Structures are given as C-alpha cells and as structure tokens.
Amino acid sequence: MITDQTIFLVTGTLLVFIGIASVSISKNLIKTLMSFQVVVFGVNLTLFASGLGGADRALSDAFVLLSILVGASVEAVGLAVIVAVHRKYGTLNPDEIRRLRG
Amino acid sequence: MANEILAAGLAAALVLTAVAALGAKKVSTSLIMLFYSSVVLGVTFTLYNDALIGLVHMATFAGAVSVLLLTVILMTGESNLAIGGRRIALVLAGVTVLVVLASISTITSGGPALAPSQSQDISLQVLGFVWNYRPWDLLALIMVFASSMVAVVSLLSKERP
C-alpha cells in the first residue's frame, strides 16, 4: 500500500539525487547553488515525511526548521563567494576559473 | 485515497519545477522555476497541517533567498534579460496553479472559524484572529509572492541600454 508518506519520502530522495547530479554537471556557479537549494528541498521533504503519521511530529518539525535555517545561511555565504569569485576572475564558469588560476 | 492523489500531484509538481529550474538554459528562468518549487514545497507543508513550517519555508526560500539570487544574477550580469511573452504566460499559469493549490488548502482546512475570541487581552485576540484565518492568510501570501515574481519578470524583461 502506497501512502502519502512513501510518496514524499521517494520524492525527497529523488530531489536530493537530481540536485547532486546537477551540481556535478553544472557549468555555472549560480546554477550550482540552485542545485544545492534543490538538495535542501529534498532533505526538508524527507525530514518532514519521516514525521508524518507518527508520534515524533515535533521532532521532525524541529529538524526541518533547523535544516531551513542552515540551508538559507549556506546559500547566503555561497552567494557572497560567487560575487567575490566574479569580481576576481570575471566569469562564473568553473572550468574557466580553473584555467585562469593556472 | 484523496490524500495519496494530492500527495502524488504535489510531488509531481515539485519534481517538474525542480527539473525545469536545473535544466533551463537561462539563469532567470531557473530562478523563476526555483521560486515555484519552493512555493509548492511550502504549500505541501501547509496542506499537511504544518502551517508554521510552510510559512517559514516560503518566507525564507521564496522570499529572502530568491531576492538574494536575483541580486547576484543582476550584479554578475549572468542573466539574459530578454524575456518574451511566452515566459510571462508561463509565470501567469504558475500563479493560477498556486492560487488553485491555496484554495484547496483553504477548503481542506475547513475555512475560518467565525467565533469571536472570549479573551479580554488584545494580543491574544489578535493571535486568535490570525490563527483562525490562517488559510486565507496563506492565500494572500501566495498572491503577494506570485505578484512579486510577476514584477521581477517584468523588470527582467526590460532590455539593458
């Protein structure tokens, strides 16, 4: 029997894998950060689904809140790094940056 | 059975918007799709009786992080600013879908309770009012977010001199 909890667990895992795959093939640092955001969405959904239908709903809610705040903080720092990299190298392509570094 | 169909629909919307965001060629299109993805996830949390997590999620990712991403995209000049009528139609279609989702949330939550608060404390009355009307609050929030995204698209569609 497929329940909504199963559907969300599978979707969350799928989002994590899609995000990781996109991080590895991305040619733009902004897209890489967006892929990281999709990974965070997947983690949040999985944590949320793990608390569905059980007695530990408050615990999963606490973990989701923590994950949201950590994810947003990491994104903010990542965006600051992107701006710094763009100022120094003038491009956001990781291959180009590697070539310019020599 | 209805719960499973709703969950499957939300999951499909989530995966489709995420794949569209990561697969789009233009960064501005990715940003719009990512915005919708975060709103769909917020609506999912809210529909499953977790309004607080849903609102925090939407305020953080659809609000703050989207604006940060937009700022960086504009600062680095990575966006291809030509956005045609087809994309604006896509955004409007997304807004319609979100409003329908929020309406479903309103219906499943049973609508607002109209009983007045018995407390004399004004802060408790205000809190009770907000809590009773939270489905409508969500609807208003989604409309505000969606209209801000339409405004962003409109700003991006202006060509640079």
pLDDT tens digits for range B27-38: 888 888 898 899
CB contact at 8 A, B15 and A14: yes
Does residue B104 form part of some domain? yes
pLDDT tens digits for range A15-46: 999 999 999 888 889 999 999 999 999 999 99
- Amino acid A76: pLDDT: 87
Residues of chain A above pLDDT 70, percent: 98
| pLDDT exceeds cutoff 80 at B106 | no
Q: How many domains is chain B built from?
A: 1
Domain that holds residue B6: 2-156
Mutate which: A17, A38, A39, A66, vs B, most B CBs within 10 A = A38
pLDDT tens digits for range A55-70: 677 888 888 988 998 8
What's B143's domain CATH number?
1.20.120
What's A62's domain CATH number?
1.10.287.3510
- Amino acid B103: pLDDT: 65
Does residue B93 form part of some domain? yes
- Amino acid B110: pLDDT: 52
Domain that holds residue A15: 4-101
Q: How many domains is chain A built from?
A: 1
Query: How many contacts does A have with B, using Cβ atoms within 8 A?
Result: 113
Nearest CB partner across the interface for A30, out of B3, B27, B50: B27
pLDDT tens digits for range B58-101: 888 988 888 888 888 888 876 655 555 666 666 667 766 766 76
- Amino acid B3: pLDDT: 76
CB contact under 8 A, B8 and A7: yes
Does residue B161 form part of some domain? no
| CA dist., res. A75 & res. A23, Å (int) | 14
CB contact under 8 A, A45 and B64: no
